Chain A
């Protein structure tokens, strides 16, 4: 059987190829491809880390390599895997969902992608240029200053992140303008699919947060290359300034990674519950609340610094407040499922998995917002467990849900559901086996970022369990890749609307033509395609 073209159906001579394309769908696929590739690389790095930690006193990696591996793993997963995956989906889907032919600035869109990718390549070039950065993904000063990090690793970190961030900022401008100005007639801003809404909110977060990171990077570069003193206590600077600037970016970054995934499951859950989302306004509004609050909580990453009791109390309180809008969403998703005719497809399994795992990550997050608890477990494996429940259990499961849901639209073929179920359950088991034990490890005092530990600590068994979990996760990812490749070549033909879905991207062919729509259906509500298919059951406008 011949392959269905992956993105546009152009005759060969009219195809521009991946290097020169400015089509939002092709660029979306490029972003997703970049994310998948870096996810694989970051995953291999994680496996190395887990192998080294499997038993006490292991000597697989030397300490220096271990430091580089966790640093590059963290940066890769966050900035080169998850963000590109989410931006890729947004690129592909937003114009389709709002009935637009493309994004507002197609050529700028290509620039964004290439900047993001080049940033990643610059970071990885450090391996060839004498050693990767080894100062952790948040690269605290003064450790990251020349005096303590004399190699070039941190310079590549600065350059790579700045270039990658420029791409992300330009991409956010593009998506924001697209959503604000290019909605088709009838598509009021209060009717956009929630994934589009979350993308808009995320763009605002990117535009507010990334420039602070860029500024911090510039200052660090001045310190390192021009002998400046921004973060150099010896020269009168304050190392804590880096932390403030970094986390002013870093905490919103968490929501930049989570909100779009929440948007994805907000599309998936209604369709597979055969109901409109429960409380659209609350889901949309709570996202704005989260975005707003997320700029006022950064110092919860800095409780151990000793800012003072008043500061700690304020940031503790604002951090806990975020649990409210987050909880609102969780109730809305559950209420959408209650009483629905559930279809437990793989996409739906992953969406439900997202809710379950994100609740655990959210609860450990609230516990970390309690200052005394944070002081006890800061920089321990408890934090590592927490962040992976949010980022893997939350975001990645959401991305998998979105992948099973939209793959047929992007490729014209369905992913295999049997492999999909294997993928889900091995992921679920492997993930929990890897990260659940780390809560205990952290609670009994195992610090993060240590390359090994003594047998007498008694941390061996739980670490071994965790590494076995990581191996199962690796198998899960192999199943996923097999599914991707097989389905791409010979998956069941999807048709335009395989899920009997609600939103406009399903109103066009799979994959969509270059101009997206032959004709755009009249939009009178939040579920335009449903309204067209079932005029008698139309949503009230």
Chain B
């Protein structure tokens, strides 16, 4: 059976996820604006301590995971889903190591304005990635147990959320990391 691809305009779950993403965007917008408002105060520290190259590599993993997610959703493929999870986990590992390095250098959420804004913004994004990984994991589990019972909408919905998390990182990476090059 070839499933008709569900559409946001008619499917409740997808519309619900789309609206949820819209409100999440406002949440991130507020945090990003706070970061931008305090950017100047932290710019020197950011320039001195952030590792753009390394983070760019880990970012590529996250961006790539959007591609694998799209493939996974199209083919309802558990394998591509697993690849997505691995890429997402690589990204989080990268973020973790960046955190460890900064904390080692004495830069934390309480150290100065840069630390406060940096850890809040990237930390909240990281938590969203983590939530996405949980959703992906649930999808993998459901898919392995009762493949036929997993509704195509579930793939689409998780995919939408994952792409959103990815898109947020495009903004965060640009503002926080690429912003130091300006």
Contacts and interface: CB of A to CB of B under 8 A. Distances in A.
A86 interface: no
Contacts, number: 91
B60 interface: no
Contacts of B120: 218-219, 222, 228, 230
A241 B22 CA distance: 22
B116 A228 contact: yes
B113 A214 contact: no
Interface of B: 10, 12, 15-16, 19-20, 22-24, 26-27, 30-31, 34, 37-38, 41, 108-110, 112-113, 115-117, 119-120, 124
Contacts of A180: 15
Contacts of A172: 23
A237 B38 contact: yes
Nearest to A103: B12
Given A173-B19, A226-B110, 19 more contacts: A176-B19, A177-B19, A207-B23, A207-B26, A210-B23, A211-B24, A215-B30, A215-B31, A215-B34, A222-B109, A222-B116, A226-B119, A228-B116, A230-B116, A230-B117, A235-B113, A237-B38, A245-B30, A245-B34
Contact of A229 (B15, B16, B31, B116): B116
B118 to A, nearest CB: 11
Given A207-B26, A208-B26, A236 B19 contact: no
Interface in A217-261: 218-219, 222-223, 226-230, 235-238, 241, 245, 248
Interface SS, A side: helix
A237 B26 contact: no
Contact of A211 (B10, B26, B113): B26
Contact of A207 (B22, B34, B109, B119): B22
A177 B12 contact: yes
Contact of A216 (B16, B30, B117): B30
A208 B24 CA distance: 9
Contacts of B30: 211-212, 215-216, 245, 248
A262 interface: no
A87 to B, nearest CB: 16
Given A173-B16, A207-B19, A228 B110 contact: yes
A236 B16 contact: no
Contact of B109 (A214, A228, A237, A241): A228
Nearest to A208: B26
B12 to A, nearest CB: 4
Contact of A236 (B27, B112, B124): B112
Contacts of A473: none
A173 B116 contact: no
Interface string A83-123: 00000000000000000000011000000000000000000
Given A173-B16, A228-B116, A230-B117, A219 B34 contact: yes
Contacts of B109: 222, 226-228
A331 to B, nearest CB: 33
A268 to B, nearest CB: 30
A206 to B, nearest CB: 8
Given A211-B24, A219-B120, A177 B15 contact: yes
A207 B17 CA distance: 13
Nearest to B14: A177
A176 B20 CA distance: 11
Nearest to B120: A222
Contacts of A229: 110, 112-113, 116
Given A207-B23, A219-B34, A177 B16 contact: yes
Chain A CB within 10 A, most for which of B37, B110, B119: B110
B16 A218 contact: no
Nearest to A182: B12
A236 B20 contact: no
A248 to B, nearest CB: 8
A215 B117 contact: no
Contact of B12 (A104, A207, A223): A104
10 contacts: A176-B19, A181-B15, A212-B30, A214-B27, A219-B34, A222-B109, A226-B109, A229-B113, A229-B116, A235-B113
B12 A105 contact: yes
A177 B17 CA distance: 10
A80 interface: no
A173 B20 contact: yes
Contacts of B124: 218
A174 interface: yes
B108 to A, nearest CB: 8
Interface in A292-334: none
A291 to B, nearest CB: 14
B10 A181 contact: yes
Q: 6 closest Cβ contacts across the A-B interface? A: A227-B110, A215-B30, A211-B27, A228-B116, A211-B26, A226-B109
A207 B19 CA distance: 8
Contacts of B37: 238, 241
A230 B33 CA distance: 12
B119 to A, nearest CB: 8
A241 B36 CA distance: 12
B168 to A, nearest CB: 13
A169 interface: yes
Interface string A183-210: 0000000000000000000000001101
A174 B16 contact: yes
A214 B28 CA distance: 10
Contacts of B26: 207-208, 211-212
Contacts of A223: 116
A236 B116 CA distance: 11
A176 B30 CA distance: 23
Contact of B112 (A177, A181, A210, A235): A235
Contacts of B113: 229, 235-237
Contacts of B19: 173, 176-177, 207
